[in-house]
Structures are given as C-alpha cells and as structure tokens.
Structure 1
Amino acid sequence: MPPDFLPGLDLSRALYSEAVAPLLRAEHPDLPYAAALVGPGSEVLGLDTARSTDHGWGPRLQLFVSDPGARSRVLELLEERLPERVRGWPVRFAPGDGPPQTWLPDADHPGGHHRVEVVDPGAWFGAHLGFDPRCGVSVSDWLATPTQRLAEAVGGAVFHDSAGDLTRSRQALDWYPDDVWRYVLACQWQRIAQEEAFVGRCAEVGDVLGARVVAARLVRDLMRLALLLARHYPPYPKWLGSAFSRLPDTAELTPLLTRGLDADPAALADACALVGERQNRTGLAARLDTRPRPFHDRPWPVLDAARFATALSERVADPELADRPPVGAVDQLVDNTDALTSPGVFRSLGP
C-alpha cells in the first residue's frame, strides 16, 4: 500500500529538512546554496491531489549550487547517503509503465535514481525561462515568457538560501513592472473587445454551437484577465479554473461566467462589467463607466471593452511599450503547448 497522500510541497520540505539538510550540514557546512521546489509540477502551484501520485510525483527538490566542483561533490554525497524513504515515500524513482518520462517512486528498482537536482542557478533559469533574471529582466524578457513559466519560477517554496541568488531572482520575477502590466492588461481587453459582440450575432442567426464557442473563448479570456488584475500569473488550461477559484472575490463573477458559457450575452456583459470594476480599483488607468451598453443599434449588451484597453494604453510611458502593436505577451499571441513549453520557441515568438 502506498503511504497516505500529503501535498507535494510538504513532502519536498520533509525531503530537505529530514534527509538533505543534515547531510549538507555535516559534510559541506560552509557551502552557499539554495534548496527549493520550483518549476513544473502541480505541487509547485499547490494544486496536487492523490491523483497526482500516478506519475512524476514524489520526494524531489532542487539544490542551486554555483560552483561546479561543489555540485559534483554534493551529487556524489546524495547518491551514496540519501535514505531510502521520506515520510514513507521512496526517495528513488524508476520508469513507470505509462508514457515516456513517467517516473514513479520505487525504492527497489535497480535503475532508480533520486530526484534531488543539483543545478547551476543560471543554467536552470536559462533552461526554464530562456534568460537569467540575475542579469535583469528586460521588457522583451517579460513579454516573451509564458505566464505558466513565470508562475512556476515564483511558485513552490524555498527551504534554504544562503547564497541569496534564488531569492533575488524570484523577487525580480514576482510581478510585471507597472507599464508592462498595463500593456498586457490592455492587450487582454483588446482580445475581449474583438469578440464580445459575436455571441449575440451568432445566436441571432441560429448558430448555437458557434455562439457557445465564442462564449467559451470570452470566458477564458475574462478568467485570465481577472487573474492578471489580481497579480496572479495565469496557469495553463488544466489549472486555470482552479487558480481562478482561489481569487478572493469570485462569488459574484463565477455564476455570470457559467451562464455566459450558455451563450448568454447579458451575463457576459455583466461579467465584463465586474472585471472592469476590478481594473478601476487598481488605479492603473482612468476610471471608466462599467455599465453595459447596446452594441451600436443591435439588441444585445456589451461592455465596449476597447475603452479599457485604450485607457490603459494611454498611461503607458515606457517607450519600449508605447509603440508596440496590441498583441501582448507570447501567450496572448499564440496558444500552442509545444510553443509555450520550449524556451527556444517562445523566445523567438515573443513580441
């Protein structure tokens, strides 16, 4: 029987405090390093459940060590002296029977290996983000990096950081500078403005399926917009709804979005209005009237979301952003998993 489930961040913390930290204190007491669980994985976002244990889940963490000689010595120490289990979970992983790269905790498999990654900080950030935030974060870096990757870099937990590099890097990535934030928000409103009138028009000609497709796109964009306004990087689709549900003020908005999925133009307009009020509260742009209004002389309401995009754009002072077309960050521009998970690709696609 497998051990009882506990959140992956708690298991990672136990791996560090009960197994890794005592070894490092005894053998390398003066070594500057950071220990953390960051990067991919539902547990990094705090969204793992017992279902997550069926692949790639278990005791794991990263040790960020700058000195290459020290990395080799630490790896050798871990290979020789890590315990077999932490909190009942095997520390070593072996290939599972599922898809490639499906690894499962297995203390007895002869090909098993632990998942304490000992990595160079710059190399880790380069592989994950495509740039090293220790050298600064440019406008192009912000816009070329998917929000999922940013969420993974600032999520999770840091258990120790005597070197300080990891903490400083996470602080640098914590949230967009205000003008980048304004630009990204403006581009998100622009996406909504381009389609908010289509639901009513599709329904008018009897295209129920088409109306629902457009409505679903609008709901997704509104959820992402609400997260951005709340200073949360939107995660990839599997966890978008879960992340949205954790926002503190969704009780009024969620029913409207649910009705909106049934291609209800009035519900979508009211949802837009609530999100518009959230923008007004940020102070990032001039306050705007959030009451829905007719779309020209047609009989369905809209917010006229382009007004919110314009109000934000008018407050952007950074010359690197002021003249950019309103296409936004890379995951407002493209929606392809293979593109958004490969730094070489998403860096080349960034605006």
Structure 2
Amino acid sequence: RTGHLEHSAHYASALAGYAQACYMAGRLQDAVSGYEHALSVIEECYGRNTDYYHTTAANLEAAKQALHKRMPSSHKTQESQEYQESQESLKSQHSPKSSESQQSSEPHYMAESGASSIPAISHHISGLALSRAFWNDLGKPLLAGAYSAYQGRIAAGLVGYGSECFGFDDEFSRDHDFAPRFCLWLTDEDYDAIGAQLQADYDVLSRDFTVDEQGKPHFAGHGSADSNALAASQSPLTPRAQGEFRRDGVFRIGDFFERITLFREAPAQNDYASWLSLDDATLATATNGQVFADPLGVFSKTRQGFKFMPEDVRLSLISRRLGMMAQAGQYNLPRMLQRDDGAAAMLSIHEFVNATASLVFLINEPVSVGYLPYYKWQFAAMRKLSHRMATRLAGVCEQLEDILRLSSAACFGGAGFGEGGKGAKPAAEHIIATVERICSDVVDELLREGLTESHETFVEWQRPYVEDHIKSDASCLHSL
C-alpha cells in the first residue's frame, strides 16, 4: 500500500499468503478478508478463468466453512455483523482517499462554477479504477470478439494528459474531461490494418456505468441487480481533449509519444541535447498512468525508454538544480528581503522550490520514481514520494511547504493575514534558515552517494564535484 501497488498481481500474492498464515493461526475472519481481497485483485489482473483465481477461490471457501463451523449459532448474527464491519474497515484501509471519503459521502459541486455536474456518486471512483473497469468489462470482450487475431498484439491502459493518469484526481476533477476511457496502442502495421475500424468500435462503447455498494463500477449491466447502483454520465469535454488532442481511443504507438514529447521514441542514450530539451513535466506525462495489458511489449518498452534518462544527463540536471537553488534561495532571496522587494523575494522562493522539487526526483532516479509533474500536481507527487519506502530527501517536501506557508508574511509583511509588518522579520528568518537546512540535507545526500567530497553548504560550489562524475565531454552537459 505504501508503494501504491494495490493493483499488482504481486499484491494479490501477498494478500493470499497473509490469508493463509491467518488461517493456520486460527484467525479465520482475517483469512476470509484476505482471500476475498486477493480474489478481487486477481480478477482485476487476470480475470476469473485462471488456475490462480480458482485456487484462491477454493481457499476462500475453505476459510468460510471453517469460520462458519466455529461460530456458535447464538453468535452467528453478531459474528456476521462483526465480519461486515471488518470488511468495511479493510476497504477504508485500501482506499487512497479514505480519510476524505469518510468526511463526506458525496462530492460537493460549486453551482457558481458553471460546470456541468456529474450525478453524485456515493463512493469516490478514481479515473484509473474507472478506466480499468471499462477495459475489463467492455474493452477485453471487444478485442476477443472481432479482433481476436490481433488481441495478442494490442496494448491497453491509461497514460498521458489528465490528473487521473497521475492518480491525483478526486471528486472536483469531474467538472470537465471526466469519462470512462482507455487507450489502445498499436504498431504502425496493425494500425494501418484495423486502426480506423477499431476506433469506430471503441467510440460506440457504452459509457454508462453503475456503482455497487462496494463502490466498484460496472459497465453494460455487469453489476448485480440488487446493488445500490447509480448511473453516471461523462462530463463535458474541453477542446484540449478532442480531435487531434484526444486523450483516449486508438493510437499508433509512435504517434502517441510524439504528441506528448515530439519524439516517437526516447532519444538515443548519447543524444544529450535532445534529452535536455525534455522538461520534467513532459517526461512525467509520457511515463505516468498504468498499462493494463501489453502482450507484444512494444508500448511498454517505448514508454520505459523515456524513464531511462542517461546518467550523464541526470548528473547535469542535478548540477543545474543546485545552481538555481543557490542562486534563488541562498543568494537572491535574502538580498531581495533586505531590499524590501517582496515581489522579487516571492519569485526567488518560487524558483528555489521548483529547483529543489525537481532535484529530489532526480536524486531518487526517474527510472524508479518517475519525474516531477507540472506545477498543479507537484506537491501531490512530492508527498506521495515522501511516504515511499527508502526515499532519499523524504523530509524536503514538508520543509518546502513550510516555506510557502510563511512566504506572504516574509515577503509582504504578513499583510495578507492582517499582521501589518510585524510578521515579516521572524517569518523571513525562518524561511532563510529552512533554505539553508534543505541545502545542508542535499549536501549530506550528495556525500552519501559519493557525488561530492566537499561539505560546503553553499550548493553552487558543489556543482564541479557532481560534474566530475559526468563521463561525456559534451559541452551541453557541463556548466561554465
């Protein structure tokens, strides 16, 4: 759960193993809960017609029978209630937005926004979960039918533009471009053969879905008849999600990545200038989301190529980020505060925060953690990374947020909080101290990784040490 890998088959294996241990220890309710959760993940990953599913289902039935035999008849009603409560507790633990969903069972929409609202859904459904259900219920049968000859060659998933591709969407994301959708990625040869017809067949798939009492979406009547189902329609599409900018449907693999990055595949490892032309947000968009199926492997290989940033490029970017951190945060910010130029000081904070956030992702290596997304989701991504096991510089996110909270008081004397000028000095001192603490933490991390031999905390002076590790003599990789 910490790594946000709840949709992985390995997660199902862990759940099933835990359930077996609970069964052997006599913790039968926990065993039943574990097996049921494992089954739901197995069905999501592989469907029901597999030995994996049937074996786990048999184990679940054995656990249920053992639990039923153990319960005295006088306690069965009470045990049944306790079991139901344990299931609800388990669901809340595995929901990424459990704390928010408990606060309010229905999303709130602002009438004054003018946005067309989606019918209220009693459970928040993430765009990725909705996409996966749409694929499982309607996408797979479509390919298995008219396109069975190509089924083993077509990749499916949800990657690219949209907050749902990052897993950061919530009920407020439904006011535009919200709809059940997935992408189908084909080789050039296959697209020429079936692309147009497959797109036409995709377009006529029903987008109407129901949500059962467990919050699971179902398409085309797959929900149970007695479920507390609610129909939902798609929100209006903005021009940026239509026509040549569409975000779902059928794509040539090369076209899909070219629309995002201007490259049909990742630049060569020695094409340093091309790699440096790709900013963090662009690379994040090209490598986010989930791939539901890729039997041929071409799409996944192409997507992964954008994660394999050349080491020399990574080191060059780390050096650049250190330069901006020193210039904006350690040098210009104190000077602008001394000059009482609040606007310039605020921009200095902005540059320092952006450079530091990017550096944190680069230090943790994009092939493992991806890239920093664009500004709207920058801190959502940093918080998620900070809670990941073994994250380097995990405490930096909280310190950056602390700086931003105090920035108005430091730069404008707290005028926005009715403080007049009295809040400026302590806030400014705290921000400057926090900047220095972050830079010190970064130097400690560079020392741990063997990227420097210096303890100098003015991070501009760390750049030559980092760049000494760049093997190429390409001028674009080195600072003056």
Q: Establish whether TM, by shorter chain, passes 0.5.
A: yes
Aligned to 2:472: 318
Q: Within the alignment, does 1:35 sit opposite 2:156 as a pair?
A: yes
> 260, 264, 275: which one pairs with 1:132?
264
State the alpha-carbon separation in 1 of the partners of residues 240 and 309 from structure 2: 33
Secondary structure in 1 aligned to 2:183?
strand
Go from structure 1 to structure 2 and tell me whether the alpha carbon gap of 1:27 and 1:153 turns closer, same or farther (over 3 Å shift). Answer: same
Q: Could you list the per-position Cα deviations for residues 53-79 of structure 1 after superposition, in whole angstroms to 9, with x for gaps in the alignment?
A: 111122111101222121123123334
Matched to 2:255, the amino acid is A
TM-score (norm 1): 0.76
Q: Identity rate of aligned residues, in percent?
A: 24
Aligned to 1:177: 310
Structure 1 portions without partners, runs of 5+: 104-113, 291-302, 328-351
Q: Verify the 8 A CA contact 2:181 2:248 in the aligned structure 1.
A: yes
> 303, 308, 327: which one pairs with 2:462?
308
> 13, 18, 25: which one pairs with 2:144?
25
Q: Verify the 8 A CA contact 2:267 2:274 in the aligned structure 1.
A: no
Aligned to 1:194: 327
Go from structure 1 to structure 2 and tell me whether the alpha carbon gap of 1:254 and 1:102 turns closer, same or farther (over 3 Å shift). Answer: closer
Go from structure 1 to structure 2 and tell me whether the alpha carbon gap of 1:49 and 1:326 turns closer, same or farther (over 3 Å shift). Answer: farther
Go from structure 1 to structure 2 and tell me whether the alpha carbon gap of 1:165 and 1:91 turns closer, same or farther (over 3 Å shift). Answer: farther
Structure 2 portions without partners, runs of 5+: 1-118, 210-216, 220-230, 411-427
1:340-351 mapped onto 2 (5 Å cutoff): none
Secondary structure in 1 aligned to 2:452?
coil
> 200, 208, 219: which one pairs with 1:85?
208
More strand by share: 1
State the alpha-carbon separation in 2 of the partners of residues 23 and 240 from structure 1: 37
Count of residue pairs brought into register by the alignment: 300
Secondary structure in 2 aligned to 1:315?
coil
State the alpha-carbon separation in 2 of the partners of residues 188 and 115 from structure 1: 32
Matched to 2:160, the amino acid is G
Q: Verify the 8 A CA contact 1:95 1:102 in the aligned structure 2.
A: no
Q: Could you list the per-position Cα deviations for residues 194-239 of structure 1 after superposition, in whole angstroms to 9, with x for gaps in the alignment?
A: 2322222233344455434323322232222222212241111111
Matched to 1:85, the amino acid is D
Aligned to 1:244: 382
Secondary structure in 1 aligned to 2:282?
helix
More helix by share: 2
Q: Verify the 8 A CA contact 2:316 2:477 in the aligned structure 1.
A: no
Matched to 1:230, the amino acid is N
RMSD, aligned α-carbons: 2.8
State the alpha-carbon separation in 1 of the partners of residues 234 and 322 from structure 2: 45
Which one has a bigger Cα radius of gyration?
A: 2
State the alpha-carbon separation in 2 of the partners of residues 174 and 203 from structure 1: 39
State the alpha-carbon separation in 2 of the partners of residues 256 and 116 from structure 1: 38
> 121, 129, 134: which one pairs with 1:10?
129
Aligned to 1:214: 348
Q: Within the alignment, does 1:154 sit opposite 2:287 as a pair?
A: yes
Q: Verify the 8 A CA contact 1:39 1:152 in the aligned structure 2.
A: yes
Secondary structure in 1 aligned to 2:135?
helix
